[in-house]
Structure 1
Amino acid sequence: MQTTLVQLLALTNLESGWIFLLEGEQGYRLVADSNLPPALCREDKRPMRCDDCFCLRLYWAEELEQAVTMIECERLHNAVQQCWGETNNLEYHATVPITIRGERLGLLNVGSPGKEQFTDQELAFLESVAYQIGTAVERVKLYEQRERRAVEDMSRYIVNYYSQLNSITRALLKMNNIQRLLEAAVDSIGRQFGWSTVAVALREEQKLRLRSIYENGRTKGAQAALPFVMRDLVEQADREQQIRLAEHGFGPYAVALPLHTHESGVLYLSRSSRPFEKVELEILRILADHVTIALEKVRLYQEWEEVLLAEERNRLARELHDSVNQKLFSLSLLARGIWEHAKTEHEETANAIREVERIAQEALGEMRSLIWQLRPSSEGTDFLRTLKEYAQTIGLRLFIQSDQEPRYRHELELALIRIAQEAMNNVRKHAATYRTRISLTHDKRWVTMKVSDQGRGFTLEQAEQEARSLGLASMRERTEELGGSLHILSEEGLGTVITARLPLQAEERG
């Protein structure tokens, strides 16, 4: 507006001018001025900023509808009366209302020393200029309103996003199971933020695998290779540890955000329309950090539980060894001593004592087996050596065959060891043989373990009646927990084969 005012004065050969814009009901602001007399420039133009004047009062009262010549300017009159300084003989000015479509926006005042009257033609020209100024002011106000609305909308958007983010984070931090956490994370993010697809992939055994996905309003756990539609983007984000976008204009808009977990992973989100805004990406980065924190919290919690479990198992093993095991050993020695003393004179008593010794020895063997099983399974311990040591502990001669070096994830290795131990216990207690064989075969998805003996075997009816003592229920539970199966083949007089088939990778659990 300053430039417009200067050009107007040059075009009309007028010397001074100023523009007021209204603010509120009784407020105004000086927005432009040119060649004001010294009396009006004092104290940083204080006379132009403080108090009102006759022309403003007329305008506020809606009594100034068109351009007029002010017979005397109140501000200039006050400057003379109060000796504020030189007015350069400026006494009169034209006052032109800046009004657009009935909205009063401000006033345009122009004048020159000695000019007491403006012609109708001059006033009409000034009105046309004021209209152009008003149009420009209106455009600026509309732009500012749009900007203000945009800022308000963005503020609401950010507040809403952070509110939802806070809600999701609080829920995730309460969970102590990784799979449930992953499924809850993709479900909450998909539903609350309106994403069509949300997925989490985690690195397992040097390979990214899909662990949970929200798609078409449904959530499911997974343990599978990455779908083709997201594979390149997810692998790139993981490899470069940077946010990566897919905004090609065809297909969905997608973003992959690295999760800086213990093993690394990626959070993938996609929608059918609308590209990503910078502020949205920053919020999504924070969202990925919160998911990472929740995952690490669960991992640390599970490690802590494992430490507590290992300590408790060690404590139980020590107590059993120091108390029950020693007492059984003492009972066995005592029974043998009594039998030696009574075998020649008290045959029936000696036989009973012999039976006590046998039971004590059997209980002692079972106790040693239990103590061995209570030892925590340490990562890095050789799988085959673990089985051989256990067989030796319970007095079995074990033969092992494997078509490849056995290397398994922790949960699978532990399940195979426990199933093999239970099967060897059965051989030791029921098969009437001290020999057993374990074979391991592998394909791309499965490991099959067979524990066989050539002992006395049993019938299906016996197996059902003695399922608990044979440990069949616990073996079956372990295989089914990992998505596998257990089969038992036995025939009286020919022996038994227990076959456990388990997935090499964790299966989806419903």
Structure 2
Amino acid sequence: MSKVSESELLILKEIAEVLNEGTEIDTMLQDVVKKLLHVTGLKVAWVFLVHHDMSFRLAAKENLPPALSKDDYAPMCTEHCWCMNRYKKGTLNRASNIIQCKRIEDVLKIKSGDTKGLTHHASVPLLAGNERFGILNIGSPDKTHFEVEELALLESVAFQIGTALKRITLSQKEQENARISERNRLARDLHDSVNQLLFSLNLTARAGRELTSDGRVIETFTYIQDLAQEALAEMKALIWQLKPSGLEHGMVSALKEYARMLDLVINIEVTGMVELPSKIEEAIWRIGQEALANIRKHSGQNEACLHLHVSNREVIFSISDKGCGFEYIEKNDLPSIGLRSMRNRVNALNGRFQCSSSLGKGTTIRVSIPI
């Protein structure tokens, strides 16, 4: 691989052109891996994308030897390898020479296939600012060491890839938010217009049936009432399907699943049986998401307590931890954007938001919203 600066700039330019065209992550990664091998003269590359819970997947690969490709790339999906272990520990922060690939070592031990002379690779984290997306691994048969200049170039390429991943991820989130907003609008429109008309039709049919003694008229009104009730049931199911993504099985189930994804143990207590309006349910879901994420990031604990009480007049929701807490006086402004966002959601629904916290005694978020 050339060390000439002009050549390096050309490589970065060609990689950037591929990345700028990408709108779908896996396709973009596969294209950039092919381009990277072509312009550097290296022979083998693969990319692991790593999720927030540290699970990972093989998102792109090029020219992997038979030993690593067999059984639908099963050797590439095992949990333990040196580059992944370092990434998970947070010690893979720069491009690094991996002395020898553990995955290759493992397949050589059991003589499960030909490695085509590949024994070593460089590992480069895919970063964009403080965000981490995964690992780029790259090598060639019989190449056992990467020079400092080569690693510096690979770091630059990896930064370009990380930036492109962030761009695509943000774009996908914007599209998802737009889709959710449209779903919410449609659900509100159906509830406020069609649903109310069907309810009125049901009441009218019942009143008409009670105002006549004619058997055929009563039968007709009964039929109309049955149709209206059936339509109301179908409309209720449709509105439920249009709830925000993640709430299809209910808010409590969604928060429990979100806590599991964050590796948090969550103790839940629910009282009351009144169904929540969709706008309140979505607000509490978003507040719960933010609160759980804060506990995972800042409390130093892996346990949270959630209480939800629903009555005919209001919903009371609280979430707390017994972590490190922080100094906070209620009359002062909230210290983070996340907390202010929670308060804004509650204020928009004419509710009340409370945050209580002190050093060493944990944090509690409590909201009450009128129904």
With the shorter chain as reference, the TM-score category is 0.5 to 0.7
Residue 333 (structure 2) aligns with:
none
Q: Does 1:243 align with 2:113?
A: no
Which residue matches 1:231? Answer: 81
How many Å separate the matches in 1 of 2:74 and 2:261? 16
Q: 1:183 to 1:318 in 2, by over 3 A?
A: same
Structure-2 residue corresponding to 1:456: none
Out of 125, 128, 137, the residue aligned to residue 268 of structure 1 is 137
Aligned residue number for residue 370 of structure 1: 238
Deviation at 1:337, TM superposition (A): 1.6
Conservation of the 8 A alpha-carbon contact between 2:34 and 2:62: yes
Residue 187 (structure 2) pairs with residue 317 (structure 1): yes
Partner of 1:202: 49
* Corresponding residue of 1:212: 60
Q: Work out the number of aligned pairs and report it.
A: 236
Map 1:66-77 to 2 at 5 A.
Answer: none
- After superposition, the Cα gap between the structure-2 partners of 1:352 and 1:233, relative to the gap in structure 1 and judged at 3 Å, is same
Structure 2 residue 23 is matched with structure 1 residue 179: no
> Is the Cα contact below 8 Å between 1:233 and 1:245 reproduced in 2?
no
- SS of structure 1 residue aligned to 2:38: helix
- Report the Cα distance in structure 1 between the residues aligned to 2:248 and 2:233, rounded to whole angstroms: 27
**How much is the aligned-residue C-alpha RMSD, in angstroms?**
3.8
Aligned partner of 1:36 in structure 2 is none
Deviation at 1:349, TM superposition (A): 2.6
Shift in CA distance, 356/380, structure 1 to aligned 2, threshold 3 Å: closer
**What's the offset of the Cα at 1:296?**
0.8
CA distance in structure 1 between the aligned counterparts of 2:73 and 2:185, rounded to whole angstroms? 36
Q: Does 2:222 match 1:354?
A: yes
CA distance in 1, matches of 2:250, 2:221: 42
Q: Which residue of 1 aligns with 2:174?
A: 304
- Does structure 1 conserve the Cα–Cα contact (< 8 Å) formed by 2:133 and 2:165? no
Query: Which residue does the alignment assign to 1:278?
Result: 148
Say if 2:121 is the partner of 1:254. Answer: yes
SS of 2:135's partner is: strand
Return the alpha-carbon distance in structure 2 between the equivalents of residues 383 and 407 of structure 1.
Answer: 12
Paired AA for residue 176 in structure 2: E
Deviation at 1:378, TM superposition (A): 4.3
Specify the SS of the correspondent of 1:213.
strand
**Judging changes above 3 Å, is the alpha-carbon distance between structure 1 residues 270 and 313 closer, same or farther for their aligned structure 2 residues?**
same
Q: 1:223 to 1:260 in 2, by over 3 A?
A: farther
Give the Å deviation of 1:308: 0.9
1:266-293 superposed Cα distances (whole Å, 9 cap, x missing partner): 1110112454333222211100000100
**1:361-406 superposed Cα distances (whole Å, 9 cap, x missing partner):** 111111111112211034899777469xxxxxxxxxxxxxxxx999
Structure 2 match to 1:508: none
In structure 2, do the counterparts of structure 1 residues 169 and 303 end up closer, same or farther at CA, with 3 Å as the change threshold? same
8 Å CA contact 1:234, 1:268 repeated in 2: no
Contact 1:338 1:353 in 2 (8 A): yes
2:15 aligns with 168
Deviation for aligned residue 1:171: 2.3
TM norm structure 1? 0.40
The correspondence of residues 286-297 of structure 1 with structure 2, limited to 5 A, is 286-297=156-167
Question: Distance between the aligned counterparts of 1:340 and 1:380, measured in 2?
Answer: 39
The one-character-per-residue Cα deviations of 1:56-105 (angstroms, maximum 9, x if unpaired) are xxxxxxxxxxxxxxxxxxxxxxxxxxxxxxxxxxxxxxxxxxxxxxxxxx
Query: Shift in Å at residue 246 of structure 1?
Result: 3.4
The CA deviation at 1:329 is 0.9
- For structure 1, which runs of at least 5 residues remain unmatched after alignment? 1-152, 388-403, 411-510
Is 1:331 equivalent to 2:201 in the alignment?
yes
Q: For residues 336 and 159 of structure 1, what CA distance do their matches in structure 2 show?
A: 83
Correspondences of 1:356-435 after superposition (within 5 Å): 356-378=224-246, 385=253
Is contact 2:126-2:132 (8 Å) kept?
Answer: no
Partners of 2:246 and 2:254 within 8 A in 1: no
Structure 1 residue 197, shift from structure 2 partner: 1.5
CA distance in 1 between partners of 2:224 and 2:132 (Å): 55
Which secondary structure state, in structure 2, belongs to the residue aligned with residue 257 of structure 1? strand
**Counterpart residue number, 1:28:** none
When residues 312 and 265 of structure 1 are mapped into structure 2, their CA distance, relative to the original with a 3 A threshold, is: same
Instruction: Name the CA distance, whole Å, in 2 between partners of 1:213 and 1:406.
Output: 31
Structure 2 CA distance, aligned partners of 1:379 and 1:338? 39
Q: Does 1 or 2 have the higher relative contact order (CA < 8 Å, sep 6+)?
A: 2
Q: Distance in 1 between matches of 2:253 and 2:119?
A: 52
Q: Distance in 2 between matches of 1:254 and 1:385?
A: 43
Q: How many angstroms apart in 1 are the aligned matches of 2:180 and 2:42?
A: 42
Output one character per residue of 1:5-51: Cα deviation in whole Å (capped at 9) or x when no partner: xxxxxxxxxxxxxxxxxxxxxxxxxxxxxxxxxxxxxxxxxxxxxxx
> Deviations for 1:320-356, whole angstroms, at most 9, x for unmatched residues?
11111111111111111222223x12x2232122111
Q: 1:282 to 1:184 in 2, by over 3 A?
A: same
Cα distance between partner residues in 1 of 2:173 and 2:73? 22
